[in-house]
Amino acid sequence: MPATEIYLIRHGQTDYNRQFRLQGRSDIPLNRLGLAQARAAHEALRGVHFDAVYASPLRRAVDTACIVSGWPEEKIELDPRLIEIGFGIWEGSDFRTLGPAGTAFFETPQNYTPPQGGESLDSVLRRTGGFLDALQQLPEDRHVLVASHGAALNALYLQIKGLPLSLFWTHRFGNCSIVRLGLSGGRLSVLEECPEPVAPA
């Protein structure tokens, strides 16, 4: 068994998720279902004692981390490398109305060009790659929770699996879905994937 386990979790649902709107850096809170999803994830991981909890600084990720881990906010380490991709002038838009430029983000990510004020996928890969390097330096025999966002988590997943940018969305993180990683000998591997959101109790 790997010496350290890391649990990647996407934040619970927000109203923007429900409305198919791009959130990006907009600080949208969890809605009622999102809070229930986080509580259900807490129950699913009740037997895990976390030694460290990291979260994106956005409210939806912080609140998910607090609920799932049972830790107070002041104990959680907020890391800006885990923040969601910025969508610039597209933030708040229904992605289904953006035409081919918006479609490329999900269907042909290797061809995605960010809108004005937005962040490129290459940039997301670089900053999440820095966080990934830090994870690989963790000491042994730890259990770690990482709460973040769809694009940021897929960037981590892509690099762990060694996949090309064209397969950026190979794994879809549903709200409060979990991917369990193992860290052994300084190398990360995917142990378990739970692609569907944890059903609320």
Active-site residues, by number, are 11, 84
Q: Count Cα atoms within 13 angstroms, Cβ side, for 150.
A: 20
**What is the rounded distance in angstroms from the CA atom of residue 153 to the CA atom of residue 41?**
17
Rg over alpha carbons for the chain, rounded to the nearest Å, is 16
Contact 34, 60 (CB under 8 A): yes
Distances (CA, A) of 120 to 61, 75, 125: 21, 31, 9
Q: CA angle, 60 as apex, 56 and 63 as ends, to 5°? A: 90
